[in-house]
């Protein structure tokens, strides 16, 4: 079995003061730097459909209303090497047209260039999913790719 699309093609991260976030068609990944030696019992993380909060040792690191809805019981967090928390959220709307422009409703927005690259990546990921025999991980895209690109589903074979 081949590696997932994002592993082959890389990610388009959006940097933040606390770390970074990035997305695929189906998921949003959040990586938060924490003090070295942090233990899981020091972490308080709440993941709800439209809300997230993360505190370490009583200090709030991330809190607010998410850009779009997620599947509550599919969200997870892990503490990696006792210095980074990785949060994975499953998007409710999993199509290429649902490119989050920011992590929270009014915070951590991707700059226009990063947003453009994210949308290109999601469109290529959509093409990969629709055409599993082809490898789009190194492909470039131009033209109409906003909102997930053109819809070819109605074309006859």
CB-CB contact of 127 with 149 (8 Å): yes
Type and span of the H or E element at 71: none
Domains in the chain, CATH or no CATH each: 5-130 (2.60.40.790)
CB-CB contact of 109 with 102 (8 Å): yes
Residue-level pLDDT at 153: 61
Rounded mean pLDDT for each run of 10 residues along the chain, 157 residues in total: 65 94 95 97 97 97 97 96 98 88 95 90 85 82 68 59
The pTM of the full predicted model, rounded to 2 decimals, is 0.85
Sequence-distant (≥ 6) Cβ neighbours of residue 97 within 8 angstroms: 147, 148
**What pLDDT digit, counting tens, does each position of 6-29 carry?**
666 678 999 999 999 999 999 999
CB-CB contact of 88 with 94 (8 Å): no
């Amino acid at each position: 079995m081949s590696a997932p699309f994002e592993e082959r093609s890389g990610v388009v991260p959006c940097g933040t003061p606390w770390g970074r976030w990035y997305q695929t068609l189906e998921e949003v990944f959040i990586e938060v730097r924490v003090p070295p030696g942090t233990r899981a019992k020091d972490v308080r993380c709440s993941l709800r459909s439209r809300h997230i909060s993360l505190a370490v040792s009583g200090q709030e690191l991330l809190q607010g209303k998410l850009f779009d809805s997620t599947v509550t019981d599919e969200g997870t967090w892990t503490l990696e090497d006792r210095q980074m928390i990785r949060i994975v959220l499953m998007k409710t709307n999993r199509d290429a047209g649902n490119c989050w422009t920011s992590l929270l409703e009014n915070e951590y927005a991707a700059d226009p260039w990063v947003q453009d690259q994210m949308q290109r990546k999601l469109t290529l990921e959509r093409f990969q999913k629709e055409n599993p025999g082809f490898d789009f991980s190194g492909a470039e895209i131009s033209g109409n790719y906003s909102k997930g690109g053109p819809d070819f589903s109605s074309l006859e074979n």
